Structure 1
Amino acid sequence: MSIRLDLLTEATKRGPFVRVLVIEVKGSAPREPGAEMLVWADQTQGTIGGGTLEYEAIARARGLRAPKVERFALGPDMGQCCGGAVTLAFEPVHAETLAKIDGPAFARPFGGAPDMPLAVRQALAEARRGALTAPVLREGWLIEPIAPPPDPLWIWGAGHVGRALVNVLSPLPDWAISWADTGAERFPDTLPPNVTPLIAENPADLVSLAPPQARHLIVTFSHALDLELCHHILGRGFAGCGLIGSQTKWSRFQRRLTELGHSSAQISRIACPIGDPLLGKAPQAIAISVAAALLRERNIRAGTAAKEGCTG
């Protein structure tokens, strides 16, 4: 996992905080390297796995003035059943510090010599090649790869399924969400910071604003609008597209899209129906299964392997 400067910068608007970062895991542990939690005097954001480890990390973070690294044996030290060990970095964060970060990785001393060692320069070279995918501690220096911008995700429709999708996906840092519908009254009164509402009498007119690398989820109230969106998105280019509906609806759409001039290979790139039928048809069930598929795809592209873990 990589450092998200945009999210950390946004967090500094609430004042300075201590960032608690998982930098190494041995054996079974609640979270993977790169997982983080932000700790203020009166609140927290994010999680490093919950349970006793997180409780102790919050207590250590509050009042901290200087960076430090600490290793926790989850069984002997925390009384947790995971049996592994976790190394955490505790780092006070200020907006001024974040503003100075530039390049493919963020390297700074964590108890090491102020002059950058050769091992750190080698880690920075790895970052430039894209070979550094998680934080590492080398000779008293902490090095983290800088995360690329979040993937653009366009959600078409602010009905029950659209709202469920936004509720599930917006807390994750992986996507910048554009949410389109026909009127302001269709949206909730407040939206998460990574969600941009887009309003048009005919939302299909907005497709030209979406970047070709965007992913689309079409969940509007109208079959006619759904079809028009599919037509425009196929002509625009996209990284992925999912359409809510039945097999009957999709068969009809395939015929109509063929008549509109799209090839079978193009049309087959649209996934319909979305969601895992084994989880049910409730909006929240659809949202959970769609989010799981998006996360699985993103992790495969990033080369992130699942690790054994525990939560308490």
Structure 2
Amino acid sequence: MLHDNAPQEDDSLLSGADWPTFGWADDVRPALALAVAANRPAALATLYKVEGSAPRGPGAQMLFVGNSASGYFSGDCIEGDVAGHARQVLADGQPQRLHYGMGSPWIDIRLRCGGALHVLVERVLPGTAAATDLIAKAQARQVCTWRSDGRAQDVIGGEAPLLSFSEEPFSLSRRYDPSRRLIVTGGDPGALALARLASEAGFETVLVRPGGPHTPPPFPVAQYLREPVNAALEQLGLDRWTAYVGATHEDEHDLGGCLAALRGRAGYVAMIGARSRAHGRLAALEAAGATSEELERLRLSPGIPGLGKAPWEVATGILAEVMQSLNPARERA
């Protein structure tokens, strides 16, 4: 039932609340995996219904573990209050359904956007099958759905709508897709700028540099691989939530990598290089068996014109294109 106690704002779970970088996290599964590994319970908050205008849509989530939080709902309108309820849920295990904004009984919390947000807060214990299944499917890059009434939780595989719920008796289903991933090949300043920017933007970023240095790059990436590009792609696997950008500037690696990415139905495939090389590269790919449909999906001059040609400018334009291309895959049922 709807939690009807007057809310008491409590940001003690929002470590670093003065500078809410916890809101940069869009996927709660990495934080949940850390909680499970540490054998710690978590409070999972899911925005399941939105009325009117709101910063986030249904399916947005926050996760509270100890004194830390991941994710955001409203840009500082309700996060502190949700944190207070999360503390209660962690303590007693009783799920809570929270209603903020239009029609809410809590007149002391209003949303600047004028809409209404409905949030379920539930406790997730580290040893439960649902928690371990969700993490395992994320690691295997498998689509799955979290089903819960606030107490009973399970995870099933397969495609589904992003979010659905029923009011009485209450239950919700929230789909999880594989994380957005960017595979960048090469080691010049442009490739490194793109890899670093993608990593900071929350992508699972893989840098492939055939025969590159044994030491990893001086910024965090999910993986650094030194083998030939085709071998690396075979090892990694490809899907529609993966973007591939070839930037070794060597056809031996870039052409084969692009062909493999196109045939693997990667959500975005690009190859960086001079426009004067485009015709020859297309001809080489066609001779290698690329179809016209595959070649239509290939971007040979990736990025946004007019941003400039410095490494960070090029990287910004390419990453914007990647985001545009991969977002439909997140919304697809």
TM-score after normalising by structure 2: 0.68
CA 212–35 in structure 1, closer or farther in 2 if over 3 Å, else same: closer
1:50-74 CA distances to partner (integer Å, 9 max, x unpaired)?
A: 2222232223323433221110117
CA contact (8 A) 1:4 1:147 kept: no
CA distance in 1 between counterparts of 2:196 and 2:244 reads 16
SS in 1 for 2:113: coil
CA contact (8 A) 1:107 1:144 kept: yes
Tell me the amino acid that sits aligned with residue 142 of structure 1: S
1:161-212 CA distances to partner (integer Å, 9 max, x unpaired)?
A: 3343334434667x654321133456335635xx222113x44553443535
Deviation (angstroms), 1:86: 0.5
CA distance in 2 between counterparts of 1:301 and 1:10 reads 26
Tell me the amino acid that sits aligned with residue 110 of structure 1: G
Are residues 1:48 and 2:70 paired? no
CA distance in 2 between counterparts of 1:60 and 1:147 reads 24
Deviation (angstroms), 1:44: 1.8
CA 89–132 in structure 1, closer or farther in 2 if over 3 Å, else same: same
Match of 1:36 among 61, 85, 96: 61
Counterpart in the other structure of 2:198: 169
Tell me the amino acid that sits aligned with residue 225 of structure 2: L
SS in 2 for 1:209: helix
Tell me the amino acid that sits aligned with residue 109 of structure 2: M
CA contact (8 A) 2:245 2:271 kept: yes
Are residues 1:134 and 2:163 paired? yes
CA 167–87 in structure 1, closer or farther in 2 if over 3 Å, else same: farther
Are residues 1:198 and 2:225 paired? yes
Tell me the amino acid that sits aligned with residue 132 of structure 2: A
Are residues 1:249 and 2:277 paired? yes
Are residues 1:209 and 2:266 paired? no
Counterpart in the other structure of 1:110: 150
Counterpart in the other structure of 1:145: 174
- Of 42-51 and 210-219, deviating more is 210-219
CA 42–238 in structure 1, closer or farther in 2 if over 3 Å, else same: same
SS in 1 for 2:48: strand
TM-score after normalising by structure 1: 0.72
CA distance in 2 between counterparts of 1:110 and 1:207 reads 40
Counterpart in the other structure of 2:32: 8
Structure 1 residues 157-306: aligned runs within 5 Å: 157-170=186-199, 176-181=204-209, 182-185=211-214, 187-189=216-218, 191-192=220-221, 195-200=222-227, 202-211=228-237, 213=239, 215-220=243-248, 223-224=249-250, 226=251, 228-234=253-259, 237-239=263-265, 240-257=268-285, 266-303=294-331
Tell me the amino acid that sits aligned with residue 321 of structure 2: A
Tell me the amino acid that sits aligned with residue 188 of structure 1: P
Deviation (angstroms), 1:280: 3.1
CA contact (8 A) 2:199 2:205 kept: yes
Query: How many residue pairs were aligned?
Result: 285
Tell me the amino acid that sits aligned with residue 113 of structure 2: C
CA contact (8 A) 2:180 2:326 kept: no
Deviation (angstroms), 1:41: 3.3
CA contact (8 A) 1:104 1:128 kept: yes
Tell me the amino acid that sits aligned with residue 13 of structure 1: A
Tell me the amino acid that sits aligned with residue 37 of structure 1: M
In percent, how many aligned pairs have the same letter? 21
CA contact (8 A) 1:3 1:146 kept: no
SS in 1 for 2:176: coil
Higher RCO (CA 8 Å, separation ≥ 6 residues): 1
Tell me the amino acid that sits aligned with residue 160 of structure 1: P
Unaligned runs of 5+ in 2: 1-25, 138-142
Tell me the amino acid that sits aligned with residue 165 of structure 1: L
Deviation (angstroms), 1:139: 1.6
Unaligned runs of 5+ in 1: 117-123, 306-312
Counterpart in the other structure of 1:93: 124
SS in 1 for 2:306: helix
CA 36–207 in structure 1, closer or farther in 2 if over 3 Å, else same: closer
Deviation (angstroms), 1:264: 5.7
1:191-241 CA distances to partner (integer Å, 9 max, x unpaired)?
A: 35xx222113x4455344353545421123xx22x4532135426723241
CA distance in 1 between counterparts of 2:201 and 2:163 reads 18
CA distance in 1 between counterparts of 2:27 and 2:218 reads 30
Tell me the amino acid that sits aligned with residue 197 of structure 1: Y
